[in-house]
Amino acid sequence: MAILELRTARGWSQQQTADAFHLTAATISSWMHRLDESGADALVQLREPVNRFPDFVRYAVQRLKALCPSLGQRKIAEMLARATLHLGATTVQRILKETPQPPKVAVHLDVEERKVTADRPNHVWHVDLTTVPIHGGCWSPWLPFALPQCWPFCWWVAVVIDHYSRRVMGFAVFTDKPTSLAVRSFLGRTIAAVGGPPKYLICDKGVQFWGDDFKAWCRRRHIKPRFGAVGKHGSIALIERFIGTMKREGTRRVLIPLRRAQFREELKRFFDWYNEHRPHESLGGCTPDEIYHSLRPANSRPRCEPRSRWPRKSRCAAPQTLVAGQRGDRFSIKVDFVAGRKHLPVVRLQRAA
């Protein structure tokens, strides 16, 4: 380190430094490279004593003492010796006096998972199941403090969305937890209504999907299933976010009907509004139908400019559009509601006469 500091102070080149200290230029270059990568500590590496036990041995001794505090240092040494780890009583004593340190876990780089990216409509679909409580939840004040997850306490809903456009492609309502056959029938109806299967189908590892029958069904239709990791948050994030939106903005805003036909009608209203009128931030403010059907986005049309002195060529809030008509236009907001549902608004501007 002192040599490198002197080199910097004198402004020497690597060859000049090597000549001054009878080294090679390659050695100076290696020192500089190690210094850039790992800092000054990389230049001084002391050998580890041959009698030093690894840190995981220290953790094992301290862990054993924590689990069995009545054991003394000699008894711990004897018990470890029976487990084929031979430590002296004085070594155990010294380790117990040290500050407990957690074991150093080796960091394994995860193998890059196969990522599926949608580049067109009907390329990648997501499917999942969820429950919709009918009477405000499945909790009960008596044992086992939970109501059965079936009708008349809740509905089971299966939904399919398109990854590229975020469009709801189909849904089904069940009175009880659906079987794999019921889910496959629902997917078959959705594929028939669309006119063809997707290339990829992303789902979790539920019993309806993680089975030979479902995988064989996918192979017959040339569908490649992709499964989310068990217990890994975000592995099927897109469909999970959609279900959260469905509940926050849809089913929790109305009284859930007890009749299947009425509940299906409520869901259909929400999904139609979701596809046609609800803008998505991930889609740049477009709606799923506009992306799926390649329609002109409503937010790309010429805008109304209520500021009379705003320069016509100046930028506006994203997305950038031209000014329609004259600057300083006056308008009023008109809000319609799908089937009178206050949680399903359709907003329009109406120019003043």
Q: Calculate what percentage of the chain has a pLDDT beyond 70.
A: 84
- Please tell me the predicted confidence (pLDDT) of residue 112: 43
Average pLDDT score over the chain:
84
| Average pLDDT, integer, range 341-349 | 90
- Please tell me the predicted confidence (pLDDT) of residue 351: 77
Q: Which of 44-48, 58-62, 179-183, 263-267 has the lowest mean pLDDT?
A: 44-48
Q: What is the pTM of this model?
A: 0.67
Q: What share of the chain is helix, strand, coil (3-state, %, to 5)?
A: 40, 15, 45
DSSP class of residue 330 equals -
Half-sphere exposure of 346 (CA within 13 A, CB side): 15
**Which structure tokens are listed for 60?**
């094992």
pLDDT in tens, 149-166: 999 999 999 999 999 999
**Which structure tokens are listed for 151?**
């009708």
| Average pLDDT, integer, range 278-293 | 92
The one-letter amino acid code at 177 reads: K
Q: Which of 76-80, 228-232, 346-350 has the lowest mean pLDDT?
A: 228-232
- Please tell me the predicted confidence (pLDDT) of residue 9: 72
> Quick one: which H or E segment has residue 246?
helix 237-249
- Confidence tier at 199 by pLDDT (50, 70, 90): very high
Domain spans of the chain?
2-43, 55-97, 124-276, 301-351
Q: Which residues of 254-285 are buried (b: 16+ CB within 10 A; e: fewer)?
A: eebeeeeeebbebbebbbebbbebbebeeeee
pLDDT in tens, 35-79: 665 555 555 555 556 566 777 777 777 877 786 676 788 777 766
| Average pLDDT, integer, range 228-238 | 70
Judged by DSSP in three states, 76 sits in: helix
| Average pLDDT, integer, range 114-121 | 80
Q: Which residues pair with 174 in a beta bridge?
A: 156
- Please tell me the predicted confidence (pLDDT) of residue 12: 79
Neighbours of 36 (CB within 10 A): 9
- Would the pLDDT of 83 be above 80? no
Residue 161 in contact with residue 292, Cβ under 8 Å? no
- Please tell me the predicted confidence (pLDDT) of residue 111: 36
- Please tell me the predicted confidence (pLDDT) of residue 170: 97
DSSP character string of 99-119: PP----PPP-PPPPPPP----
**Backbone phi and psi for residue 203, each to the nearest 5 degrees, phi listed first:** -150, 175
CA-to-CA distance for 255 and 238, rounded, in angstroms? 26
Judged by DSSP in three states, 124 sits in: strand
- Which CATH topology does 124-276 take? Nucleotidyltransferase; domain 5 (3.30.420)
Measure CA 112 to chain center: 15
